[in-house]
Structure 1
Amino acid sequence: MSEWSFTLLVDQPLTPEQADVFDHCDAFADGSVSYTLGPENPEDYPHRPDPDKLRELSCDIEAPTLLDAVAQVARDIRLIPGLRAVGVRYGDTVTLAEAAQRCGPELFEPARRHGFPEPEASSGGTEFYSWREIAAWLTRAGHVVPEEPRDLLIADRALRLADALEGTDVPPGTLCSLGLPRIRCSGC
């Protein structure tokens, strides 16, 4: 199994009550998902946290695929009352292992040759690179590198659609006509 690193977007910043449930939830006990909790009275501070950053969960999940990893966290986050996943994204900063996941080891292993992008930072012996620079270098070397992995694109669009459909009454026939399969999920 691979470890997948991504950012899950949730519909709202965690409240202190939700953070307490999160902290005591067995699904998150391994520390593979983390959040940032804003202060109770942000107006009391000269530097307020970015509200968008408070809606992000940092995830490092072991799963067979990226899509499985996102689905696992999106399912588990519903254990927190009033919270749901609404999107997912990758950051630009990657380790070499994460870059290899994104483009496939068969492209990545021979790629570390002359002209390969230099690390942008390092911490504790780990070097961090820009994914955009690596993807551009691979493209110049003649490889086809998608901007976003297909699993990430599917997960993000599915979560955004589920969010748009939340609380609406769209007939199943309409969804089917739009090309959406009728799916029954026992966990929903």
Structure 2
Amino acid sequence: MPEWSFTLLVNQPLTAEQADVFDHCDAFADGSVSYTLGPGNPEDHACVPRPGVLRELSCDIDAPTLLDAVAQAARDVRLVPGLRAVGVRYDDLVTLEEAAQRCGRELSRMREEFAGFPDPEPGAGGTEFYSWREIAEWLARAGVDVPEAPPGLLVADRALRLADALEGVDVPPGTLRSLGLPVG
């Protein structure tokens, strides 16, 4: 089963209490989802993470499809009281394996056939990371049509954003049906 790497956006930075629940939750015991916890008193620290990173969970989920992986992570996040997924995104930096997964092609053979494959990003250490945007541009020059974002990612992101927008809002079932949304 493929492993899907993505960033799940959550409604708030994790509190210390939520982090404790997260750390003791069986759904996250395999380490497939990780978070960054900010300091309790940011003003007491010289270097604190940028605020956005505190609302992101790094996910590496084994699932049949990307949509299944995102759905699994979003479901599991709800096990932490007060926390919910509100969006999802792919990051630009990828390994060759992740790039191959995104485009659905084996890249090693293509790299031999077509010149100009992008160089790895500098300073990555032992693992080589590449810019997905540069790889997608290279694929386009090689005649491969690669969508900017996979359909499963777009569906997952839009569904999570809609669910977040509907959170706590009273919308009549007839209105939801008129909008083409399932009512359950």
**What's the TM-score bracket when you normalise by the shorter of the two chains?**
over 0.9
Give the 5 Å matches for 1:52-63: 52-63=52-63
Query: 2:130 — aligned with what?
Result: 129
Give the 5 Å matches for 1:1-188: 1-105=1-105, 108-112=107-111, 113-121=114-122, 122-124=124-126, 126-182=127-183, 184=184
5+ unaligned residues in a row in structure 1: which ranges?
A: none
User: Displacement of 1:109 after TM fit?
Assistant: 4.8
SS class of match (2:138): helix
Whole-angstrom CA distance in 2 between matches of 1:96 and 1:157: 27
Whole-angstrom CA distance in 2 between matches of 1:116 and 1:49: 33
SS class of match (1:159): helix
Whole-angstrom CA distance in 1 between matches of 2:178 and 2:171: 11
5+ unaligned residues in a row in structure 2: which ranges?
A: none
SS class of match (2:118): coil
Aligned partner letter, 2:103: C
- TM value normalised by structure 1: 0.92
Whole-angstrom CA distance in 1 between matches of 2:50 and 2:36: 10
Whole-angstrom CA distance in 2 between matches of 1:32 and 1:139: 32
User: Displacement of 1:131 after TM fit?
Assistant: 0.1
RMSD: 1.2
User: Displacement of 1:110 after TM fit?
Assistant: 4.0
Whole-angstrom CA distance in 1 between matches of 2:20 and 2:121: 36
Aligned partner letter, 2:88: V
State the identity %: 77
The number of aligned residues is 181
User: Displacement of 1:84 after TM fit?
Assistant: 0.3
